[in-house]
Every structure is written in C-alpha cells, then in structure tokens.
Chain A
C-alpha cells in the first residue's frame, strides 16, 4: 500500500450523533428499496444494510440491527417486514407502503416475466435443461445459508439448539407433518428451554 493510503483504509467510523435526522421522501424510499432489491440475488439483507446504513445513512448500524432483529423474530418474510417498518418510521403507513412497493414490485415484475416465459416455452428441451442446472445450484445456495446459520450453534456447542433443529428437520422434511402443528409444539418448547438455560447461565 502506498504511504498516503492509510486514512482511506481506516474503517468508516460511526456517524456522530449530532447528524441531523434525514427524512427520505416517499419517492426516495421507493427508489432506494427498489435498488437494494434489484441488486440482491439470493438475499437482500446485505444490500439493505449497505443502502440504509452506509449509503443513505438513514439509520446507524445499531438501529439497523435492532430493527432487523425485530423483523426476524416475527413471522413472515423478514426483509419485507423490515421495509414496511422502516418506511413507516419516516413517513407513516404511506412510507411503509412505498418502501414495500419498491422492494417487492420491480422484482415481482421480473419474476412474472420469467414465469410467463416458463409457461410458454417451458417444454423446450434446452430451456428445461438449463433450468435443471439452475435448480441444482439454487439448492446449493440454500444449503450454504443453512450452514452459515448453524455455525454459531456448533461453535457454542449448543446441543439443545442443535437437537431442536434436528427434530424440526425430521418432523417437516422426513415425516412431512403440517407446519402449524409442528410449530405449535416446537415454539413453546424451544422458548421454555431457552429461558431455563439462560437462567442457569446467570445463576
């Protein structure tokens, strides 16, 4: 590295607290979320963090993590929840809808066009073969996400967590029980275990 580069290499410090709050307009919300969404293959979270925290500086990293944690513990598509909560924080319900429309609208158009092509030409051999190859890779990407999420559990030697994970996998993936029934048993159970083990750690 040339000697004049160190100042650039220093990681960007968090914004000073004195920065005046920036209030994006409805259009800005729509465009920002559309951009993040269209950049995101196999997950929008990374781009959302980059856009909201680093580029637009609408939230600090901590605020973003808190909001994301909230949207992750609630059911439903996390990043969709995040867009709505985020937009509504600045511009009420209309802001939530603008961010949501930006996140889901443009990719939805692309998906519908692809689906229409599939419906019309899906029987053509070359297209079918191509899609088969894509499907194999897509499963691989999903497996990588699973391993990334499970790594902290393995590192912590969280045996109970891994057992819960395995039980849900067997019940849904192998036995094929309906989701609702499995969750009605597994959610209270896992929550009880978590509360009990945390108490033990504190004691």
Chain B
C-alpha cells in the first residue's frame, strides 16, 4: 500500500475535483476513478475495484455509491463520508446557483444546447467504464455470457435490475462463473 500522509485530504481533493468533470453523472467518471484508485494512488487492485463496482450496484440508491465504497476502503467510515460529500458537494452547490439564475430567465436555450452536446460524450465515457470493468470481470466465456444476457434482459425488458444481479450472484455462488 502506498500510504499517503493524509488519506482523507487526498480523497477530498480527488473526488472534489472529479465531481466537476463528471459529465453525465457518476457512471461516466468510473474510468477516471479506476485510473486514480488503481494506477495512480494504488488504493486497490483491479479486482477490488471491480468488486467495489459490483457492491455499489448491489446497494440501492444513486450510482455515486461507488465513491463511498472507495472512500471506505481507503480510510474507513470517515473516508466514506469524506469521499461522498466531496463528490456531491461542489456540483450540488453549482446546480443550486445555476438553477436560481435560470429561473429568472426561463427561456434560455443554453441548457438544451449544452445537454445535446454532452450526451455523446457521456455515452462514450460510460462505454469506456463498461470496457474497463468487463476486462476485469469477464475472464471466462461463461462470465462474458452472463454479462451479455444481463445486458439483453435489461435493454429489452422492464424487469427490476436487482433480479439480474441476483441471478448473476447465484450463478457465481454455484461455481458456474
């Protein structure tokens, strides 16, 4: 482990900065989280990162929970709280002020324009997230098949995603993966 003099400060700095660049939400920032947590800071291994993502999907709630889990594994409960607040705080404050400004000039066309420009970017970022996670998780044909089947079910049906996670977990438990 690469012990940083103050892990909490390092978490706050990392995620506070990242939140301002997380175009399209927390899932888009997964490659950057992976780059920093695994390659730069050596907080965890590739495998642990994939596990954190799985646990974050297994918990109900917003996708930002993966940040909570990274924070926890670096510095316990205090790290979890610090990382989460750092990831949510700056942009929540930004959103608060921007929404107040826009309420005064409600016919502004900029939000729609910027959103249209950012959508392809955030899809590209999420696709990169999927690639990085799949590289670690899908080490066998069966594993890749589970991913593909889950993707098809989630795309084509309105089934609660929880059932697909459960099915994956049961197959893993049975030793199929």
Query: Which residues of A are interface residues toward B (Cβ below 8 A)?
Result: 37-44, 67, 69-82, 84-85, 88-89, 93, 96, 100, 103-104, 106-108, 110-112, 114-116, 118-119, 122, 126, 129-150, 153, 158, 161-162, 164-169, 172-174, 176, 178-180, 183, 186-187, 190-191, 193-195, 198
Contacts and interface: CB of A to CB of B under 8 A. Distances in A.
Given A77-B63, A134-B169, A135-B133, 18 more contacts: A37-B61, A38-B61, A43-B161, A69-B111, A73-B114, A104-B61, A104-B88, A108-B80, A115-B68, A116-B72, A133-B173, A140-B153, A140-B154, A158-B120, A172-B124, A174-B128, A187-B118, A191-B117
A129 B177 contact: yes
Contacts of A148: 155
A41 B87 contact: no
Interface size class of B (residues with CB under 8 A): 35 or more
A186 B20 CA distance: 15
Contact of A136 (B123, B143, B155): B143
B57 interface: yes
Contacts, number: 351
A71 B98 CA distance: 9
Given A107-B59, A118-B55, A172-B125, A77 B155 contact: no
Could you tell me the dominant secondary structure of chain B's interface residues? helix
B177 A132 contact: yes
A92 B157 CA distance: 39
Contact of A44 (B62, B92, B94, B125): B62
Given A76-B94, A146-B123, A130 B130 contact: no
Interface string B152-177: 11110000111011011111110111
